[in-house]
Amino acid sequence: MDLFDNLIFGFGVALSLQNLLYCLIGVTVGTLIGVLPGIGPLSTIAILMPITYGVSPVGALIMLAGIYYGAQYGGSTTAILVNLPGETSAVVTCIDGYQMARQGRAGPALAIAAVGSFFAGTVGTLLIALFGPPLAEIALKFGSPEYFSLMLMGLVAAAVLAQGDMVKSLAMVVMGLLLGLVGSDVNTGVQRFSFGFAELSDGIGFVVVAVGVFAIGEIIANLGDKAERHVLAATVADLFPSKEDLKRCIGPILRGTGIGAFFGVLPGTGPAIASFASYMVEKKIAKDPSRFGKGAIEGVAGPESANNADAQCKFIPMLTLGLPASGVMALMLGALTIQGIQPGPEVMTTRPELFWGLIASMWIGNALLVILNLPMIGLWVKLLQVPYRFLFPAIMAFSAIGIYSVNNSSFEIYLTALFGVIGFVWMKLGCSPAPMLLGFVLGPMMEEHLRRAMLMSKGDPSVLVTRPISLGFIVVTVLILVVMIAPAVRKRRVDIAG
Amino acid sequence: MTLRLSKDVWAGAMLIAIGTAAIVIARNYPFGTPLRMGPGYFPIILGGLLTVFGLFILACGLHSSERISGSVSLRAFIILPLSLVLFGMLMEHGGFVPAIIVLIFGAATASAEFKFVEASLFSLGLTALSVVVFVWGLGLPYPLIADFH
């Protein structure tokens, strides 16, 4: 009953008044930004990170995680009511959810989305509790060659599976790795890429890059788009789905949870991919596929469960291996490092309250979200009407105060402005900045592990393929590259020939 | 400024420029041996990789006609970073209140829907809120208005 004891311990941590409050703040903020288009969990977590310095590590992690999965809930609300996905993960929900709303069935759609998400969240929490400890146990046996190969695999998989151009994503990973090297070299003290700025000798601040690229860069991009928003004045009457609705949704929720959990542990696949896969599956196995697109409740239940399961399971590689599987997880790792905790498999044994407290809080948070979302739906819809011209200066102000407060340094503000410009340019050139963040976080660790691996093997790089676990990671990396790149290259050739 | 070339050409060129710059700069750092990798070892590998990726993207871009899509607000592109820089300078020499007012009002002018009176009231209100929350509430140690002595 080890698992049971650990979960009880976790709930003890998460149910302390302080941590409960952080959880509530997290999921409320998360829902809020999920509802508001134009600001996502990535930028919000980046902006709020400086505020968490004064908070205990558990509290900080609980709050940031709450923002992340809270945003998934909020995003589906706007998808259903306004046909506007607050988050990319809710794009699929728009298809049938909005149709349901137009038929006056917004209530059941919202309710089933919440129920599906809650179920998926519960399963996700259990999965982390079940598989986390054994995974960490294995990871404890890893040496530097294993870590290097694991990170290589994680980065390649994240870049290759991410949405958008694969080669550009790989290039952005390398760019991130390079950025991570700025500052003095740990082994020799040589200043690298610091261009004579003393402020750069400790490296570029993590928050600076994240806020610059994701908050500032995104605002510049948003102000260029002139999208109009029409809020469907749907009155949410009759919240409860009928018995018939519920019966139809059991299968999709179960399958969606499974699909989401599977995609969740894969690096690089955002919740959008999981929810899309779930939608396709439901449509394929439905008795009457023509109902899809016209307000089929299965088309809401499946994808909503999938994206929440995905969001929860993304924590597994982060918590057990110290490997971020997405941009948000890179931010979580950054938050841990800033708190002085070296992420990795040791965290589970040295700081058990962190791991189990976070897991328990996620379940509590999911329950809080159901309460927050269903009865208070009207309030969230009202928030949609806040014009962007008020929203973005406020975001700018909070970002700036947050960054300045880290080191009381104006230099970091200038650097943030620079990264905003750079981030915007990259976005316009079709280079997604999220893989860059992964590289940025892992860069210094990767170099360090490579150096140690080389010292161990007396300079023989074959150490990476002679140790079995490391070889396994390398083989998977190569396989991913071959499977994904071969068709892409062929397609490009065809494009060129045609 | 002409943007006639496809966006992949621009992306590729930028990556090549950054990659080669990284190599050129990192050549000044001791390279070391595989056994004892110097501070220049890893950056030069990465710079090389970046250049190769850049060349590939550029080569593909020469055959593609996909232009940079979506409208760009040049106004936001200039004003937003500028208002951050002003914030940074004013935090050092002017104090919290002027810095934050200038940032909020400055940023607001980046919107095409900017209205003078509305934005003025909004920046005053949000500044007051920031003072209450950050300086009085969270106790950030910044003078509201700097002393000039």
Q: What is the DSSP string of B21-43?
A: HHHHHHTTS--B-SSSB-TTHHH
Q: Tell me the percentage of chain A whose pLDDT exceeds 70.
A: 91
Query: What is the distance between the terminal CA atoms of chain B, rounded to a whole angstrom?
Result: 47
In a mutagenesis test of the A interface, which of B35, B84, B96, B118 is the best target, namely the one with the most A β-carbons within 10 Å?
B84
* Residue A54 CB neighbours (<10 A): 11
* Burial class for A134, CB neighbours closer than 10 Å (0-12, 13-18, 19+): exposed
Chain B, 75 to 104: residues with Cβ < 8 Å from chain A are: 75-77, 80-85, 87-89, 91-92, 100, 103-104
Higher pLDDT, A181 or A83: A181
CB-based contact A174 B60, cutoff 8 Å: no
Evaluate if residue A234 carries a pLDDT over 60.
Answer: no
* Residue A183 CB neighbours (<10 A): 17
- Residues with Cβ within 8 Å of residue B111, at least 6 apart in sequence: A223, A388, A389, A392, B76
Taking alpha carbons only, the member of B76, B137, B75, B130 closest to residue B98 is B130
Across the interface, of A394, A400, A429, the residue whose CB is closest to B84 is: A400
Residue in this structure with the two tokens 């998934």, named with its chain if needed: A72
Question: What is chain B's length?
Answer: 149
Find chain A residues with C-beta within 8 A of B60's C-beta.
167, 492, 496
CB-based contact A175 B11, cutoff 8 Å: no
Across the interface, of A175, A393, A396, the residue whose CB is closest to B18 is: A175
In a mutagenesis test of the A interface, which of B56, B77, B100, B117 is the best target, namely the one with the most A β-carbons within 10 Å?
B77
pLDDT for residue A83 = 73
Q: Which residue of A has its CA nearest to B60?
A: A492
CB-based contact B85 A401, cutoff 8 Å: no
Contact between A174 and A157 (Cβ < 8 Å): no
Across the interface, of A393, A424, A454, the residue whose CB is closest to B107 is: A393
CB-based contact B104 A397, cutoff 8 Å: yes
Chain B, 114 to 133: residues with Cβ < 8 Å from chain A are: 114, 119, 122-123, 126, 130
pLDDT range class, residue A237, cuts 50, 70, 90? low
How far apart are the C-alpha atoms of A59 and A85, rounded to whole Å?
Answer: 29
Across the interface, of A417, A428, A459, the residue whose CB is closest to B33 is: A459
Evaluate if residue A498 carries a pLDDT over 50.
Answer: no
pLDDT tens-digit map of A375-415: 777 777 777 777 788 888 988 898 898 888 878 889 999 99
Taking alpha carbons only, the member of A204, A158, A208, A164 closest to residue A327 is A158
Tell me how close the Cα of A417 comes to any Cα of chain B, in angstroms. 5
CB-based contact A413 B84, cutoff 8 Å: yes
CB-based contact B83 A396, cutoff 8 Å: yes
Q: Which two tokens stand for residue A486?
A: 């071969």
Find chain B residues with C-beta within 8 A of A175's C-beta.
15, 18, 50
Contact between A109 and A80 (Cβ < 8 Å): yes
Across the interface, of B37, B57, B113, the residue whose CB is closest to A167 is: B57
Find chain A residues with C-beta within 8 A of B36's C-beta.
454-455, 459
Contact between A443 and A118 (Cβ < 8 Å): no
Tell me how close the Cα of B55 comes to any Cα of chain A, in angstroms. 11
Mean pLDDT of A70-89: 76
CA separation, residue A226 to residues A251, A422, B109 (Å): 40, 22, 16
Across the interface, of B11, B34, B35, the residue whose CB is closest to A429 is: B11
How far apart are the C-alpha atoms of B51 and B15, rounded to whole Å?
Answer: 6
Tell me how close the Cα of B98 comes to any Cα of chain A, in angstroms. 12
Find chain B residues with C-beta within 8 A of A416's C-beta.
84
How far apart are the C-alpha atoms of B16 and B2, rounded to whole Å?
Answer: 20
Query: No. of H helices and E strands in chain A?
Result: 23, 2
Find chain B residues with C-beta within 8 A of A400's C-beta.
84, 87, 100, 103
Taking alpha carbons only, the member of A78, A37, A27 closest to residue A391 is A37
Where along chain A do its domains lie? 2-497
> pTM here?
0.80
Least confident among A9-18, A97-106, A221-230, B127-136: A221-230
How far apart are the C-alpha atoms of A281 and A259, rounded to whole Å?
Answer: 9
Higher pLDDT, A377 or A253: A253
Evaluate if residue A282 carries a pLDDT over 60.
Answer: yes
Find chain A residues with C-beta within 8 A of B100's C-beta.
397, 400-401
CA separation, residue A129 to residues A261, A320, A355, A370 (Å): 13, 11, 9, 22
* Residue B124 CB neighbours (<10 A): 13
- Residues with Cβ within 8 Å of residue A139, at least 6 apart in sequence: A320, A321, A344, A345
pLDDT for residue A411 = 93
Tell me how close the Cα of A179 comes to any Cα of chain B, in angstroms. 10
**Quick one: CA dihedral A95, A100, A103, A106, positive or negative?**
negative
* Burial class for A263, CB neighbours closer than 10 Å (0-12, 13-18, 19+): buried
Residue type, A11: F
How far apart are the C-alpha atoms of A483 and A278, rounded to whole Å?
Answer: 23
Least confident among A243-247, A269-273, B78-82, B117-121: A269-273
User: Across the A/B interface, how many CB contacts are shorter than 8 Å?
Assistant: 188
Q: Which residue of A has its CA nearest to B122?
A: A390
Residue type, A394: A
Q: Which two tokens stand for residue B127?
A: 């500044």
Q: Tell me the percentage of chain A whose pLDDT exceeds 90.
A: 12
- Residues with Cβ within 8 Å of residue A164, at least 6 apart in sequence: A430, A431, A432
**Quick one: CA dihedral B49, B50, B53, B55, positive or negative?**
negative
Tell me how close the Cα of A46 comes to any Cα of chain B, in angstroms. 17
Q: ipTM of the predicted structure?
A: 0.91
CB-based contact B42 A394, cutoff 8 Å: no
Instruction: Identify the DSSP state of A376.
Output: T
What are the E-state strand segments in A243-374?
none
CB-based contact B68 A428, cutoff 8 Å: yes
Taking alpha carbons only, the member of A457, A432, A451 closest to residue A181 is A451
Contact between A216 and B80 (Cβ < 8 Å): yes
Q: Mean pLDDT over all residues of chain A? A: 83
In a mutagenesis test of the B interface, which of A413, A418, A449, A455 is the best target, namely the one with the most B β-carbons within 10 Å?
A413
Across the interface, of A177, A388, A496, the residue whose CB is closest to B46 is: A177
Taking alpha carbons only, the member of B42, B12, B43, B53 closest to residue A193 is B43
CA separation, residue B104 to residues A124, A373, B83 (Å): 41, 31, 8
Residue in this structure with the two tokens 């044994």, named with its chain if needed: A349
**Quick one: CA dihedral B55, B56, B59, B60, positive or negative?**
negative
How far apart are the C-alpha atoms of A55 and A22, rounded to whole Å?
Answer: 9
What does each of the 149 residues of chain B score in pLDDT, given as a tens digit? 445 678 888 899 999 999 999 999 988 888 888 888 888 888 999 999 999 999 999 988 887 777 776 678 888 899 999 999 999 999 988 889 999 999 999 999 998 888 899 899 999 999 999 898 888 877 778 888 877 55
pLDDT range class, residue A227, cuts 50, 70, 90? low
